[in-house]
């Protein structure tokens, strides 16, 4: 098989962890064996679901929207992200995005080619 070109289409799917994913490179779309690459749109004034990716690393590139990432065993770490920032999320690290007054768009790469299979929601959510 050669290179596969994916064209962005309208819509997407709701991720278990929140936000709307524009489907990109994955096992389902192109037969990827070791990675996925998606665009995630997160609405303004929202919190994602606290979650982790079991056994898989993630990398996030912020396209637009200033927001926070809460991370750590009890989501005790809070970092503000700006367009152009990149974030490395180790495997099994609890995290969630928290947006302010503007919507956020990020590009997410993960070592899980099935993307949603390794998502494990955590509870309870921090109020």
Domain chopping of the chain, boundaries: 34-111
What are 53-112's pLDDT values in tens digits? 888 999 999 999 999 999 999 999 999 999 999 999 999 999 999 999 999 999 999 998
Q: Report phi then psi at 29, rounded to 5.
A: -85, -35
Which region holds residue 47: left if phi is over 0, alpha if psi is between -120 and 50, else beta?
beta
Locate 105 and state its tokens.
Answer: 């768009």
pLDDT of residue 7: 80
Distances (CA, A) of 118 to 17, 56, 62, 91: 11, 7, 22, 10
List the alpha helices (DSSP H) in the chain: 27-30
Reported pTM = 0.83
Domain covering 34-111, topology: Jelly Rolls (2.60.120)
The two beta strands, 36-42 and 20-25, are: antiparallel
Q: In this model, does residue 4 exceed pLDDT 70? A: yes
- What pLDDT score does 66 carry? 97
């Amino acid at each position: 098989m050669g290179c596969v070109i994916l064209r962005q289409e309208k819509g997407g799917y709701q991720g278990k962890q929140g936000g709307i994913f524009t489907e990109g490179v994955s096992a389902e779309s192109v037969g990827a064996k070791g990675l996925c690459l998606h665009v995630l749109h997160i609405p303004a004034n929202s919190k994602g679901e606290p979650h982790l990716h079991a056994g898989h690393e993630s990398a996030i590139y912020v396209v637009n929207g200033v927001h926070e990432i809460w991370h750590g065993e009890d989501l005790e770490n809070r970092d503000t992200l700006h367009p152009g920032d990149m974030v490395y999320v180790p495997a099994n690290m609890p995290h969630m995005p928290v947006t302010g007054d503007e919507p956020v768009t990020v590009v997410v790469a993960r070592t899980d080619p099935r993307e949603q299979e390794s998502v494990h929601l955590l509870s309870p959510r921090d109020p």
